[in-house]
Amino acid sequence: MSSCSSRALTILSTVFGACGLLLVGVAVSTDYWLIMVEGIILQQNQSMEVKMALHSGLWRVCFVAGSENGRCVASEYFTEPEIEITTENTANILKMVRTATPFPMVSLLFVFTAFVISNIGHIRPQRTILAFVSGIFFILSGLSLVVGLVLYISSINDEVMNRPREPEQFFNYHYGWSFAFAASSFLLKEGAGVMSVYLFMKRYAEEEMYRPHPALYRPRLSESSDYSGQFLHPESSWPPPKRGRSTSEASSDISIQLNQTPPISCTYLHMWTSV
């Protein structure tokens, strides 16, 4: 049961990490984060005339209606692009969203690092610490991305709230599928991070379960026997070295030999009798 759960965590963390990496990569490289439509309301028939419509991402802005229809302009972070914007508030929105760009890029770097470390940890499961490191990188990647999303939303909301209300003009905006991909990537990366950390805990617990107790490697305190700690220390030599004999033991052996040897006179008497 434990091996099945570990295998399931390994597969799920890999799938979640790969999907999170794919979604944030697509989100960062596409330009459908924000879609804006701006125009005027005709008083004669209460119809709307679109003056400008665009969709923007982190790197470029593409116009789909208005005088710049069909034109895509790269988002200039240091110089102002030569484009015609209907209102100043729309231009300010495009400027303010640039402050959130570094966070998705950092998130993409973190999730790529986490995915590589996670796969190395799956190939070599004996290196338990790799699962923990990859989990931390997954979580940091998700946190970096959510900070970028919060900044992106707040900058747009601030400019929309400061926009002057004019009855003859209308302005509409909504978030595109690139933004949805980034938000989904956050959930997947956090899930992959939690599963990787939990997988590390399970592997560590299994290692501790099958690891011998440290007390088995310590010799016994008694030194009265030559065999103390012999089987606990495989590197010890066999047979064990002989101890030096004490003076009392040597004198005891000599007395035993003298008691076992017959006297010389008795030996000679026996020989003469036999003759």
- Tens-digit pLDDT profile for residues 229-250: 444 455 555 555 555 555 555 5
CA–CA gap between residue 21 and residue 14 (Å, rounded): 10
- Give residue limits of the domains in the chain: 1-214
- Taking a C-beta distance cutoff of 8 angstroms, is the pair 236, 229 a contact? yes
Name residues whose C-beta falls within 8 Å of residue 82's C-beta, 6 or more positions apart in sequence: 73
* pLDDT > 50? residue 86: yes
pLDDT, tens digit (0-9, with 9 covering 90-100), for 172-185: 888 999 999 999 99
Which range (134-138, 159-163, 196-200, 269-273) has the least confidence?
269-273
pLDDT of residue 188: 94
Kindly state the average pLDDT of the residues 261-268: 49
What's the mean pLDDT in 94-103? 83
**What are the DSSP calls for the chain, one per residue?**
-HHHHHHHHHHHHHHHHHHHHHHHHHHHHSS-SEEEEEEEE-TTT--EEEEEEEEE-SSEEEEEEETTTT-EEE--SSS------SSHHHHHHHHHGGGGTHHHHHHHHHHHHHHHHHHHHHH-TT-THHHHHHHHHHHHHHHHHHHHHHHHHHHHHHHHHTS---TTEEEEEEE-HHHHHHHHHHHHHHHHHHHHHHHHHHHHHHHHHHSPPGGGGSPPS--SSTTTTTTT-TTS-SSPPPPPPPHHHHHHHHHHHHHHSPPHHHHHHHHHHH-
Q: In this structure, which amino acid lies at residue 46?
A: Q
Is residue 108 within 8 Å of residue 24, measured between CB atoms?
Answer: yes
Least confident of 22-26, 82-86, 189-193, 200-204: 82-86
Structure tokens belonging to residue 174: 């909504």
Residue listed under structure tokens 């015609």: 84
Residue 5 or 194, more confident? 194
> Once rounded to an integer, what is the mean pLDDT over residues 83-100?
74
Q: Which residues on adjacent β-strands are paired with residue 48?
A: 41
Cα three-residue angle 185-188-121, rounded to 5 degrees: 120
**Residue 211 — pLDDT band, cuts 50, 70, 90?**
low
**pLDDT given at position 266:** 47
- Evaluated on CA atoms 62, 68, 73, 78, the torsion sign reads negative
Q: How far apart are CA 48 and CA 95, in angstroms?
A: 27
Task: Kindly indicate the confidence band of residue 163, based on its pLDDT and cuts at 50, 70 and 90.
Answer: confident
Tell me whether strands 48-56 and 169-175 are parallel, antiparallel or unpaired: unpaired
Residue 121 has pLDDT above 50, yes or no: yes
Of 30-39, 102-111, 163-172, 261-270, the range with the lowest mean pLDDT is: 261-270
Instruction: Indicate whether 192 pLDDT > 90.
Output: yes
Nearest to 229 by CA among 238, 218, 243: 218
Return the pLDDT at 122: 84
Residue 215: predicted pLDDT: 57
Contact present, 146 and 182 (Cβ < 8 Å) = no
Domain 1-214 adopts which CATH fold? Answer: Butyryl-CoA Dehydrogenase, subunit A; domain 3 (1.20.140)
Nearest to 200 by CA among 118, 114, 109, 110: 118
